[in-house]
Amino acid sequence: MEWKGVINTYRKYLPVTDKTPVITLHEGNTPLVKADNLSEELGGNLQIYLKYEGMNPTGSFKDRGMTLAVSKALEEGSKAVMCASTGNTSASAAAYSAKAKIDSIVLIPKGAIALGKLSQALIHGAKVVPIQGNFDDALKLVKTITSKYPITLVNSLNPYRIQGQKTGSFEICDVMGKAPDYHAIPVGNAGNITAYWRGYKEYKNHGIIDSLPKMIGFQAAGACPIVKGCIVDKPDTVATAIKIGNPASWKQAEMARDESGGLIDSVKDDEILEAYKMLAELEGVFVEPASAASIAGVKKLNEKGYFKKDDCIVCILTGHGLKDPDRAIEMIEEPESIPATEDAVVKHLRLDEG
| Interaction site with ligand F0G (CB under 6 A) | 60, 62, 85-89, 156, 186-192, 241-242, 288, 290-291, 318-319
CB of 89 to ligand F0G, least distance (A): 4
CB of 12 to ligand F0G, least distance (A): 24
Q: Which residue, 75 or 269, is less far from ligand F0G as judged by CB?
A: 269
* Cα 218 from Cα 317, distance rounded (Å): 12
Helix (H) or strand (E) holding 295: helix 289-303
3-state secondary structure of 214: strand
CB of 349 to ligand F0G, least distance (A): 36
Q: Which of 235, 241, 227, 252 is nearest to 62 (CA)?
A: 241
**Contact present, 97 and 83 (Cβ < 8 Å):** no
* Cα 202 from Cα 127, distance rounded (Å): 37
Q: Which residue, 112 or 208, is less far from ligand F0G as judged by CB?
A: 112
Q: Which residue, 6 or 242, is less far from ligand F0G as judged by CB?
A: 242
Q: Which residue, 214 or 320, is less far from ligand F0G as judged by CB?
A: 320
**Contact present, 137 and 82 (Cβ < 8 Å):** no
Q: Which residue, 85 or 246, is less far from ligand F0G as judged by CB?
A: 85
CB of 191 to ligand F0G, least distance (A): 4
Q: Which of 228, 45, 247 is nearest to 135 (CA)?
A: 247
Start-end of H helices in 26-100: 36-41, 62-75, 88-100
CB of 197 to ligand F0G, least distance (A): 12
Q: What are the DSSP E strand ranges found in 73-195? A: 80-84, 103-109, 127-131, 152-153, 182-186
C-alpha dist (Å) from residue 284 to 33, 54, 320: 10, 13, 12
CB of 25 to ligand F0G, least distance (A): 17
3-state secondary structure of 104: strand
**Contact present, 250 and 139 (Cβ < 8 Å):** no
Q: Which residue, 88 or 237, is less far from ligand F0G as judged by CB?
A: 88
Q: Which residue, 212 or 242, is less far from ligand F0G as judged by CB?
A: 242
**Contact present, 212 and 260 (Cβ < 8 Å):** yes
Q: Which of 55, 49, 61 is nearest to 283 (CA)?
A: 49
CB of 22 to ligand F0G, least distance (A): 23
Q: Which residue, 180 or 186, is less far from ligand F0G as judged by CB?
A: 186
Q: Which residue, 208 or 280, is less far from ligand F0G as judged by CB?
A: 280
* Cα 259 from Cα 200, distance rounded (Å): 12
CB of 120 to ligand F0G, least distance (A): 11
List for the chain the helix, strand, coil content (%; round to 5): 50, 15, 35
The residues pairing with 133 across neighbouring beta strands, listed in sequence order, are none
CB of 128 to ligand F0G, least distance (A): 13
